Amino acid sequence: MKLKNVGIIGLGTYVPENVMTNFDFEKIIDTSDEWIRTRTGIEERRFASADQATSDLGAEASKKALEKAGLSAEDIDMIILATTTPDYPIQSTACVVQELIGAVNAAAVDINAACSGFVYALTMAKGLIASGMNKKILVVGAEVLSKCVDMQDRNTCVLFGDGAAAAVVAEVEEGYGMLSQFLGAEADVKGALRTPAGGTRKPLSQEVLDERSNFLQMKGQDVFKFAVKALPKATLEALQGANLKAENIDMVFPHQANVRIIEAASKRLEIPMDKFYLNLNKLGNTSSASIGLALGEALDKGLVKKGDTIALTGFGAGLTYASMIIKWSY
């Protein structure tokens, strides 16, 4: 059986209206704009409103993706939603998005590969469509991290923002679309990046609330050491799968976590920084949404055109890492 060529035929993004600047953080914790900018490259990020959940952001991005693909929600037969911040512990956020957009013919499932989630979800969609099991899949990366970080921990709360990106994945013409991918993981036994409590390992309790272990915790140096190796490794593995070299890449869309990590990846890959698309200065780290948000912004600016070869590459809690090479199809 000949596998189908699979690609993205429409991409939409959404970020909340509320802007949280570094100067806003100066008013609530012991930090400064200069400290945050020089260590991360982040200047501001978007925070969801009190009544906005992850599904709300994901639904808005999904509606835009469907519009750009020229499809209705009824045309979608599967929703794969990547998130670390679901609406509920039990009930997938994908099912909530299904209801919000009216995708009555779609199956729906969440995945959690943290900041690599968008690429993981695209890879799953590719396999389902290439094999003929599905025809049109909505891949969503959506996060409301502002409600899951400790606003008393200056080492983490300044890094994260909220947002969503959605891609309609379907069959595309031969020679275009998703050429190759690489998915990887290393067990994070030391807890470099995780929320220690609130799950079945350590259920929510008064003790958990008192020690604030229901919030995201990160060992910055451990994550940095992992990321500067993982980003290049994933990208090189995906390039090899496509029989391409680094110089064949027109643009790289990395996970938007820290500009120093991206600069290190640029040197190791020998791909100049001007080929790396960055928007973390305005949006911060939006985890599963970040790669899609960067790609969507570049598309809206006309920076990606049909026939361009691009790399999506990320790393995240788990620890996970992933990359995908795409020959853009529209």
Catalytic annotation, pick one of 22, 214, 258, 285: 285
| HSE, side-chain direction, 13 A CA sphere, residue 8 | 31
Q: 84 with 117: CB under 8 angstroms?
A: yes
Burial (CB count <10 Å: 0-12, 13-18, 19+), residue 110: buried
Q: Which two tokens stand for residue 70?
A: 């020229």
Catalytic annotation, pick one of 95, 115, 148, 157: 115
Reply yes or no on whether 255 is catalytic. Answer: yes
- Helices 117-130 and 290-300: crossing angle in degrees, nearest 10, is 80
End-to-end CA distance of the chain: give it in Å, rounded. 26
- Helices 93-101 and 54-69: crossing angle in degrees, nearest 10, is 50
Catalytic annotation, pick one of 5, 22, 255, 258: 255
Q: 116 with 315: CB under 8 angstroms?
A: yes
Burial (CB count <10 Å: 0-12, 13-18, 19+), residue 317: buried
Q: Compute φ and ψ for 277, nearest 5 degrees.
A: -85, 125
Query: In the chain, where does DSSP find H-type helix?
Result: 22-26, 33-40, 54-69, 93-101, 117-130, 206-211, 220-241, 259-269, 280-283, 290-300
State how far the Cα of 62 lies from the Cα of 69, in Å rounded to an integer: 10
- Taking 3-state DSSP, the helix, strand and coil percentages for the chain, each rounded to the nearest 5, stand at 40, 25, 40
Q: Which two tokens stand for residue 42?
A: 């982040």
Task: Please list the active-site residues.
Answer: 115, 255, 285
